[in-house]
Amino acid sequence: MAISADLLREESPALALRIVRKLRLSSAELGDRALRYALLPSHEASGIRRRVVGSYNIFYRVVGDRVEVLHVLHHARDHEQLLFPED
């Protein structure tokens, strides 16, 4: 079961804040090295890449000269259904 942001915030506001800060920083750093992370296996044509940050995945794609963050999900979440609902 994935831990929701609300539950995490209720249980440990300090931990929730640290996680959010780390995810924001990691997302911002993608601009410098967006192509460093691999395309999603079996979905290379989508252009979606994943950066793992602790227990979280940052899903993004490179669009021209910018990075578009699509979702940030706990690793226990089913990213396939969210990112590729038509499959």
Q: Provide the 8-state DSSP code for 87.
A: -
Q: What is the pLDDT of residues 11-64, one digit of tens each?
A: 788 888 888 889 999 999 998 899 999 999 999 999 999 999 999 999 999 999
Q: What is the pLDDT of residue 13?
A: 82
Domains of the chain, each with CATH number or no CATH? 5-83 (3.30.2310.20)
Mean pLDDT of the chain: 87
Helices (H) and strands (E) in the chain, counts: 3, 3
Q: Is the pLDDT of residue 1 over 50?
A: no
Query: Is the Cβ–Cβ distance between 51 and 73 less than 8 Å?
Result: no
pTM given for the model = 0.83
pLDDT value at position 6?
A: 66
CA distances to 55, 67, 70 from 31, rounded to whole Å, are 21, 6, 14
Contact, 70 vs 61, CB < 8 A?
yes
Tell me: pLDDT of 9 over 80: no
